[in-house]
Amino acid sequence: MRYLSEEEYAIASRFLFLSMAIVVMQRDAQNIQKGTTFKIKEPYVELIGKMETRAIHERRDLRARMEKMQLQVVTLSKNDSFSSFLFICKGREEKRNYFNPAIRKKVENILQELMQRALLGSSQVHSSIK
């Protein structure tokens, strides 16, 4: 049974998956810095940094909205196949189970979205130079 409105769920799930995407970006940036697979690392690290900055700002805004709405997301459990989260809003609780490959796809989509926004922001700067 659904206890959260579509808006409440959309905000909380965006916060959840955006938080996961931030962790992925931080780990990827560390791996690029440590690894030797890239000849020139700086552009990749810079891109990930721009993406992370945008994601952190968005997450901060989402967190503020969630506080106003008395909305929380709590991790309940994780195993090889599924992860469970509890969405709480004004005393109403809704448990959601996610198939881990589906989580990965949601995070990947957020990363692609952040990359496009970061690249569009930088291409606008470069297009004025031409």
How confident is the model over 80-116, as pLDDT tens digits? 999 999 999 999 999 999 999 999 999 999 999 999 9
CA separation for the pair 18, 32 (Å, rounded): 21
CA separation for the pair 71, 90 (Å, rounded): 7
Q: Kindly list the domain boundaries of the chain, sorted by start residue.
A: 6-127
Q: Among 32, 40, 53, which Cα is nearest to 121's?
A: 53
Spell out where the chain has E strands: 71-78, 82-89, 92-99
How confident is the model over 28-41, as pLDDT tens digits? 999 988 877 778 88
Q: 52-56, 59-63, 95-99, 116-120 — which is least confidently predicted?
A: 116-120
Prediction pTM value? 0.88
Q: How many CB atoms lie within 10 A of CB 59?
A: 17
In degrees rounded to 5, what are phi and psi of residue 81?
-110, -35
